[in-house]
Chains A and B, each alone.
Chain A
Amino acid sequence: MAVIGPLSRSKPSVSERGTEAGVTVVDWIDERTSLSGGGRWLMFRKVPKGTNWFYTLGSATMFAFLSQAVTGVFLAMFYEPSAISAYESVRHITNDVFMGEFVRAMHKWGSTMMFVLVFLHMGRTFFFGAYKYPRELNWVVGVVLLVLTILMSFTGYLLPFDQRSYWATIVGVNVNGTGPLIGPYLADFLRAGPEFGATTLARFYSIHMLLVPGLLAALIGAHLYLVARLGTTAPPWQRAEADPELRKQET
């Protein structure tokens, strides 16, 4: 019989007990949810040969969205969506609040970053032919995500409520109004009336921070599901390798 050494008999170290506790917690959750299977399905996928850095543009866009969501939530703690106090509250965030200027700048420049990344991601998908069968639906979802991103930029632009925001929104709403037949109603809906009024800002704020982010998050989920379900494509310069046995048979 093997003699068990005194070392392994001693009390488990702190790190061993920590690992043990972690495993227990994960097991406890997994036994009740079976999340690990789904996690493996999502994370440990087969990717084609030739997968390169261009394939990270989608994730980069998603991280830009997450950054916008997080900074946006914290900006909302100080922002007041009222025509009288909006500008003052933004000034307060920028000048007085600790790190306020930094968080606001993250949100402001992050939106431009997200926009750029969306288009790079879209360009990658287009030029790699990754929109083709069976991924057409994911392209459609992606286009809806693009439109929602544009809507986020449009509604967010008004919120600082300075001269630039105000006039840009006037112009933007009037562009909507130039659509025949439904244009006038669309413009009235955006403004909540015939003139830019006290509720216009609140309406834009609600669309910017509740309606569209909710839709974006849900559709990003659908987008990711389809990516995991259908897999990614090889870049167009990647040639399929024929089985050498098959090649012999052909010749």
Chain B
Amino acid sequence: MPPRRDRASRYTADRGIPGAFEGETVTRRRFMTGTAHAMSGIATAAFTLPALGFALGPVFADIEHSWQDIAAAIDVADDTYVPLVATITPGMGDAGKTTVYLRAHNEAIDGPRVDEYDEFIAVSTRCTHLGCPVRFVEASERFVCPCHGGVYDFRGGRTGGPPVRPLDRFYTRVRGGRVELGPRFSVNSELERFSPRDPGQDLDGVGQYLFPARPTARKIEGT
């Protein structure tokens, strides 16, 4: 067996390496190898990280609250819904539009108004199961989803099928006799407001912690 080199010493001089300096612990060869690896690591990170950030950026982009004029306040009843078309994503034609069901606040059904955003109730047609478009069936006063049979009552609360929470709503406000549609918010089974969640995300019990809201799209402060 060849004699084993003394690995115990940190110093290259003690390990019998030719041309070692006194007090040297890293050989020049190891230093060069390490430098080359570090450089290629930095070079790889220099194009990978910006590309990743580029792909992930939209997730963290701030979303501006916008209000769009959708109806004249006087045209909207409080005992049934009127379907209206609203733009969710501008700049992509029909694919960026959605139907919103609007009715006036009805104290007999909804209880007292809680704030200025409660004058009109705008119910999203996005099913809270997996996002198919629900429609309001006048005769049964139910919202029905065509995909997997989700059913919601007049206020949007779940009454049947796979949805995990009531239908989302939009903030509304009245400006100069016109109803304006604001940002989306989600509700739990008590119809308490939460920051908007995607379909399929439960908001009762621990749901709101299992499915965190995105930091950039929050419900309006203090509502």
Question: With an 8 A cutoff between CB atoms, is B99 at the interface?
Answer: no
Which one of B18-26, B113-121, B191-199 contacts A? B191-199
**Whole-angstrom distance from the CB of A9 to the nearest CB of chain B?**
62
B96, A184: Cβ atoms closer than 8 Å: no
Interface hit among B27-35, B77-85, B208-216: B208-216
In the complex, residue of chain A having the shortest beta-carbon distance to the beta carbon of B146: A167
Pick from B59, B93, B132, B214: contact of A170, CB below 8 A. Answer: B132
**Chain B: interface size category:** 20 to 34
Asked if B92 and A198 make an inter-chain contact with CB atoms under 8 angstroms apart, the answer reads yes
Interface residues on A, range: 20 to 34
* B200/A178 in contact, CB under 8 A: yes
Interface status of B177 (Cβ within 8 A of chain A): no
A158-207 interface (Cβ within 8 A of B)? 161, 166-167, 170-171, 173-175, 177-178, 180-181, 183-185, 187-189, 192-199, 203
Q: Is the CB of A171 within 8 A of B131?
A: yes
From A171, A185, A195, B88 is in contact (CB under 8 Å) with: A195
> Contact check: which of A84, A166, A194 meets B217 at CB < 8 Å?
A194
Whether the pair A197, B63 counts as a contact (CB closer than 8 A) is no
* Chain B residues, Cβ within 8 Å of A209: none
Chain B residues with a Cβ under 8 A of chain A:
55-56, 58-59, 61, 63, 88-89, 91-93, 95-96, 130-133, 147, 196-201, 210-214, 216-217
Ordered by A's residue number, 30 sampled pairs between the chains whose C-beta atoms are within 8 Å are: A83-B95, A83-B96, A84-B92, A84-B93, A171-B130, A174-B198, A174-B199, A174-B200, A177-B198, A177-B200, A177-B201, A177-B211, A180-B211, A181-B212, A183-B211, A184-B201, A185-B59, A187-B198, A188-B58, A193-B58, A193-B59, A193-B63, A194-B196, A194-B198, A196-B89, A197-B96, A198-B89, A198-B91, A198-B96, A199-B58
